[in-house]
Amino acid sequence: MRIVMNQEPLGVAPDIVLPQDLVRWSELSPSNHLTDYSAIGETQHNTSPFPYDPETNHKIILWSGDISSLQVDAIVNSTNESMSGSNPASNRIFQRAGSELKEEINLDVRECKTGEVRVTQGHALPARYIIHTVGPKYNIKYQSASENTLHTCYRNVLQKAKEMGLHSIALYEGAHIALRTVRRFLDHHGSSLDTVIFVVDKVDLGIYEVLLPLYFPRSMFEEEAAKYQLPGNVGGPDGEPIMPDRQIRIIDNPQHTLHPDEESIDLSSQLETSVTVGEHAFSQMQGDLDQQRLLGERAFNDPLADIMVKEIQHQERYERLLRRAKTEDLTEVSGIGCLYQSGVDRLGRPVVVFVGKWFPFNKINLDKALLYLISLLDPIVKGDYVIAYFHTLTSSNNYPSFSWLREVYNVLPYKYKKNLKAFYVVHPTFWTKMMTWWFTTFMAPAIKQKVHSLPGVEYLYAVMSPDQLEIPAFITEYDMTINGLRYFQPGAPT
Q: Are strands 247-249 and 264-266 parallel, antiparallel or unpaired?
A: antiparallel
Q: Say what the pLDDT of residue 7 is.
A: 44
Q: Say what the pLDDT of residue 424 is.
A: 93
Q: Say what the pLDDT of residue 442 is.
A: 67
Cα 265 from Cα 244, distance rounded (Å): 9
Q: Say what the pLDDT of residue 305 is.
A: 57
pTM of the model as a whole: 0.52
Q: What is the DSSP letter of 400?
A: P
Which residues are bridge partners to 386 per DSSP? 351, 422
Q: Are strands 74-78 and 60-63 parallel, antiparallel or unpaired?
A: unpaired
- Rounded-to-10 torsion of CA 443, 449, 451, 455: 130
Q: Say what the pLDDT of residue 423 is.
A: 93
Q: Say what the pLDDT of residue 430 is.
A: 77
Among residues 325, 324, 379, which one has the least CA distance to residue 352?
Answer: 379
Q: Say what the pLDDT of residue 70 is.
A: 93
Cα 154 from Cα 107, distance rounded (Å): 26
Per-residue pLDDT of the chain (494 residues; tens, 9 = 90+): 444 544 444 444 558 999 999 999 999 988 655 555 555 456 778 888 999 999 999 999 999 989 999 999 999 988 888 887 667 888 889 999 999 999 999 888 888 888 889 999 999 999 999 999 888 765 545 566 777 888 888 889 999 999 999 887 767 655 678 889 999 999 999 888 999 999 988 767 777 787 898 899 999 988 988 887 787 778 889 988 876 543 333 333 333 333 333 333 332 232 222 232 233 332 233 334 344 444 444 444 455 556 666 667 778 888 889 999 888 888 888 888 899 999 899 899 999 999 999 998 888 888 899 999 999 999 999 999 999 999 999 988 888 877 788 888 888 888 898 899 999 999 988 777 877 777 777 667 778 888 888 888 888 888 888 889 999 988 988 887 777 655 544 433 33
Helix extents (H) in 164-254: 175-189, 202-215, 220-229
Q: Say what the pLDDT of residue 37 is.
A: 55
Which structural domains are found in the chain, ordered by start? 19-229 (3.40.220.10), 256-327 (no CATH), 333-483 (3.40.525.10)
Among residues 451, 441, 445, 455, which one has the least CA distance to residue 484?
Answer: 455
Share of the chain residues as helix, strand and coil, in percent rounded to the nearest 5: 45, 15, 40
Cα 451 from Cα 181, distance rounded (Å): 32
Among residues 153, 193, 168, which one has the least CA distance to residue 75?
Answer: 168
Q: Say what the pLDDT of residue 11 is.
A: 46
